[in-house]
Amino acid sequence: MALDFGETTHRNTPSAFSVNIILAEGPLAVSWQHASATCEFLGDLFAHHHAQGGADYNEARHAIIYLVNELLENAIKFRNPGDIMLLCSLEDGNLELAVCNSTAPAVAEKFQSLLSEITSRDPGELLIERIEANAADETSSASGLGLLTLMNDYGARLGWTFEQNDGGAIVLRTYASLTLN
Amino acid sequence: MEIKTAEYNVWTEGSTIHYEGTLRLSGTDAYQPILDLMQQVLVEKPQNVVLDLTQLEFLNSSGINLLAKFTIELRKHPDVAMKVLGSTRIPWQSKSLPNLQKLHKGVELLIT
């Protein structure tokens, strides 16, 4: 059974400037530093492409790096062992990113309850509330702040789909889009 | 006091805390040594604390949470003024640092 949250529809066409990346578990032993390397690569590549039209390279590069890094950090942290797939595209200043990884059912369930809250409230208000709650609770892992900063500080539009595969794991797809200035 | 790696450098000079480089640590636990260094500055009971972020090119959301935690901590020290220095050259600072003022009205934010 599939479950959706937020905005899961992407509009860039097949002719958009796009790159697919697979962080393959076997050869890479996917770990934390792959988020850095991947976001720097995509940030440079897509900001260069965007800046060809005269737009601000630095601003675009930074926003792309922050977006890719936060979603990839989440994927690396909460995934089941396995590949992580990224699809990034840019068309008319609309940057779209989809990240796909598998995760354990219990992790998915916890994440879904966080998403119900995130997608039903004002992200700016919720960001401050969660920061306060995290500061008051020493054991808190501050999860959700990356998503809320993306929504509130960067105006990112986010969506998620959960689907159970034959092996019982959950396939999570995270969708993000950003309007680059 | 100083914490230095190939990616970042955090050090104190009096009650000013300087940050340089790229901070992408994996979570609250990984940031704890930096938070300890920041809290150490408060032990001296300074009149003011300055966070100089003008050379901090990147900070992930766990790092933003670190700054937020310290800001909340400062609310318990109403006699200590807090100033945050940022740069317009580094886009995340204009986007995310104003959140600190929502947590603590006394924070002076200078992004130049």
Beta bridge partners of B85: B52, B110
Residue from A39, A61, A65 whose CB has the most chain B CBs within 10 Å, to mutate = A65
**Domain B2-111: CATH superfamily, name plus number:** STAS domain (3.30.750.24)
DSSP codes joined into one string, B69-107:
HHHHHHHT-TTSEEEEEE-TTSHHHHHHTHHHHHH-TTE
Residues 6 or more apart whose Cβ sits within 8 Å of residue A71: A97, A99, A146, A174, A176
Interface residues on B facing A, Cβ-Cβ cutoff 8 A? 22, 24, 26-28, 58, 60-62, 64-65, 68-69, 72-73, 89-92, 95-96, 99, 102-103
- Print burial letters for A28-53: b (CB count within 10 Å at least 16), e (below 16): eebeeebbbebbbebbebbbebbbee
* Binned average pLDDT, 10 residues per bin, chain B of 112 residues: 95 97 93 96 95 98 95 94 97 97 96 97
- Cα–Cα distance measured from residue B59 to residue A17, given in angstroms and rounded to the nearest whole number: 28
Given this model, what pLDDT does residue A141 score? Answer: 61
CA distance B61 to B67: 10
What are the φ and ψ backbone dihedral angles of A107, each rounded to 5 degrees?
-65, -40
**ipTM exceeding the 0.85 mark:** yes
Q: What is the pLDDT of residues A18-49, one digit of tens each?
A: 999 999 988 778 888 899 999 999 999 999 99
How far away is chain A from the Cα of B6, in angstroms, using its nearest Cα? 13
The owner of tokens 């959140």 is B99
Token look-up 């990346």 returns A21
Q: Is A32 on the interface with B (CB under 8 A)?
A: yes
Measure CB to CB from residue A70 to each of B28, B60, B69 and give the nearest one.
B60
Q: Do B91 and A77 touch (CB under 8 A)?
A: no
**Measured between CA atoms, how close is B69 to chain A, in angstroms?**
5
- pLDDT tens, position by position, B38-54: 999 999 999 999 999 99
